[in-house]
Amino acid sequence: MKEKVAIVTGGTGALGRHVVEKLCSEGFKVYVPTLTMDEFTKVFDRSDDDNVEIGIRKIFAFDCDAMNEASVVEFVNMVVVQEKGNLGYLVNTIGGIDTASNVGELTKVSLDKMLALNFFTTFYFTTHALRVMKQNNFGRIVSVGALAGIETSPGRFAYSVSKQAVINFMNTISEECKGSDIRCNTVIPGIIDTPANREWGSEEDIKKWVKPEQVAGAIYSLMTEVWSNSRGSIVKLLGSY
């Protein structure tokens, strides 16, 4: 049986690191694109932790600017060469939100920024990983959307349209890949309990938020045979609101 090889974009982020750890705990070999190797080492180096068995966690990284398509192509190619064509899993977690701006104040610069960060990173990795998956007639792709992608709110048009594009992109690929063993699905979390969000959330707020481990667990489930017949699904994890 082939080893399960995955790429997790945003793998050093507040959510992505939990996805990486979850997949590794389930026997996956994970590749993480990173802007700097120092960033990767800071998150995943456990050499000083006596509770971690060295050599079990298969986490690797290559330098990559996820907003630069040429850099993404180079990253995917390096993984494919390293794994002799074996690439079956992709998780897209890169994303972020800009300062709120009503439509009358919104600039093209802000819109381009949100599309570049939230949509085009997903677009680049997915299209280039998909070529390999089609050759192998197997693939599992999960992208992280946002509630704003299906329920917009004032001041969030740029963020909303970028996340809506991710959802539609996953659904389109699902339709185009009918008849193959390639599945694309989307997870939509509510507010995630991260250190950055805790800076502004109250204790009562935090109790209602979804845990990153829960999101990681849902992502893993979508990549297993339990969901093998699921394509174009949107899985919401909204916490206790």
Domains of the chain, start order: 5-237 (3.40.50.720)
Statement: residue 49 has pLDDT above 60:
no
Whether 51 shows a pLDDT value over 60: the answer reads no
Q: What is the pLDDT of residue 150?
A: 86
pLDDT tens column, 188-203: 999 888 888 888 888 8
Whole-number mean pLDDT of the chain? 90
* Whether the predicted pLDDT of 64 surpasses 80: yes
**pLDDT of the residue at 32:** 97
Token couple for 122: 């997903």
Q: How far, CA to CA in Å, does 228 sit from each of 17, 35, 112, 140?
A: 24, 33, 35, 9
Identify any residues that bridge with 7 across adjacent strands, giving them in sequence order: 31, 90
Percent of the chain with pLDDT over 70: 93
pLDDT at site 206: 87
**Residue 53 has what pLDDT?**
44
Strands 29-34 and 5-9, sheet pairing: parallel
Cα gap 135→19, rounded to integer Å: 26
State yes or no: pLDDT of 141 exceeds 90. yes
**Buried-state track 168-198, b at ≥16 Cβ within 10 A, e below 16:** ebbbebbeebeeeebbbbbbbbbbbbbeeee
* pLDDT of 54: 39
Dig out the tokens for 68 from the structure: 């630069």
DSSP H helical ranges for the chain: 16-25, 37-44, 69-82, 108-114, 121-136, 157-176, 195-198, 203-208, 212-222
Q: Average the pLDDT over 51-74 and give the result.
A: 82
Least confident interval from 47-56, 85-94, 111-120, 123-132? 47-56
Write down the pLDDT at residue 85: 95
Query: Which tokens in the block code for residue 77?
Result: 């190619």
pLDDT, position 18: 97
How much is the average pLDDT of 20-33?
96
